[in-house]
Amino acid sequence: MPTTGFINHSVDGNDFVIYVPRVELPTPAPAILFLHGMGESGKDGIKQTAVGLGNAIRMSAADWPFIVICPQKPDANLLWPKFIERINQTLEFADQNHKIDPHRRYITGLSQGGNGTFELATSLVWQFAAAAPVCGWIDDPQAAAKLKDMPLWAFHGDADAAVPISKGRAAVEAINAAGGSAKMTEYPGVGHNSWDNAYQKESLGTWFLKHNLD
């Protein structure tokens, strides 16, 4: 079995990927939970690494010195909050099989995964030091207040026809109205694919590592 790269795993029918860099990581290692978008839903266990963060890692692995946890939700029409148990099972497997730093865990995701990042950042078995939702939104009116103490950097294209930027702005504004200090980067003229900019051009990995849980 390979010890580095994108490694497939399956636990009780839950197929997921854990990425382990070739470079030596500190022990314990920082880690990222990545939540994919609608188009990468399924049961193949690998498609979720093809778009967004997985692609950015393949383009420039040196920018991502993290263990990256990539669950896959089986139903494209259901949002990530419906799959909390599946995500937690994946995170627990990661903890059992890797030495992960509990103070340096981060969450990010795109589109449906951006919604999942906003809404699940304080609801999983992991506690996260920072969050980065990409072209996401909030449906749960209680989610914003729960994020007020978490460093959060959102990204959105202002020409997004799938998830209008007004939804991303509303999410960030709600967090800050609750006392948070979330920030948002907007990409003029960019449609739904704001993830290539977010993951490949913003030094997001470096930003994550500036944040640690006490």
Looking at residue 141, its pLDDT comes to 86
Closest CA to 138 of 182, 162, 171, 110: 171
More confident residue, 214 or 163: 163
Please, what sign has the CA dihedral across residues 74, 55, 152, 101?
positive
Q: Do β-strands 14-20 and 67-70 pair in parallel, antiparallel, or remain unpaired? A: antiparallel
Q: How far apart are CA 133 and CA 86, in angstroms?
A: 20
Looking at residue 170, its pLDDT comes to 98
Give the confidence band of 10 by pLDDT, cuts at 50, 70, 90: very high
Q: Do β-strands 67-70 and 130-134 pair in parallel, antiparallel, or remain unpaired? A: unpaired
Task: Look at phi and psi of residue 105 and say left if phi exceeds 0, alpha if psi is from -120 to 50, else beta.
Answer: beta
| Omega of the bond leading into 102 within 30 degrees of 0 (cis) | no
If you average pLDDT over residues 86-102, what whole number do you get?
97
Q: How far apart are CA 135 and CA 162, in angstroms?
A: 9
Residue 1 has pLDDT above 80, yes or no: no
Residues forming beta bridges with residue 46, ordered by sequence position: none
Give the confidence band of 75 by pLDDT, cuts at 50, 70, 90: very high
If you average pLDDT over residues 77-92, what whole number do you get?
98
Going by the DSSP 8-state scheme, the letter that residue 152 receives in this structure is B
* Average pLDDT, rounded, for the chain: 97
Q: pLDDT tens across 158-192, in order?
A: 999 999 999 999 999 999 999 999 999 999 999 99
Q: Which domains does the chain have, with CATH numbers?
A: 5-207 (3.40.50.1820)
Query: CA-based Rg of the chain, rounded to a whole angstrom?
Result: 16
Give the confidence band of 214 by pLDDT, cuts at 50, 70, 90: confident
Q: How far apart are CA 178 and CA 189, in angstroms?
A: 30
Looking at residue 166, its pLDDT comes to 98
Q: DSSP letters of 36-55?
A: --GGG-SSSSSGGGSSTHHH
Residue 74 has pLDDT above 70, yes or no: yes
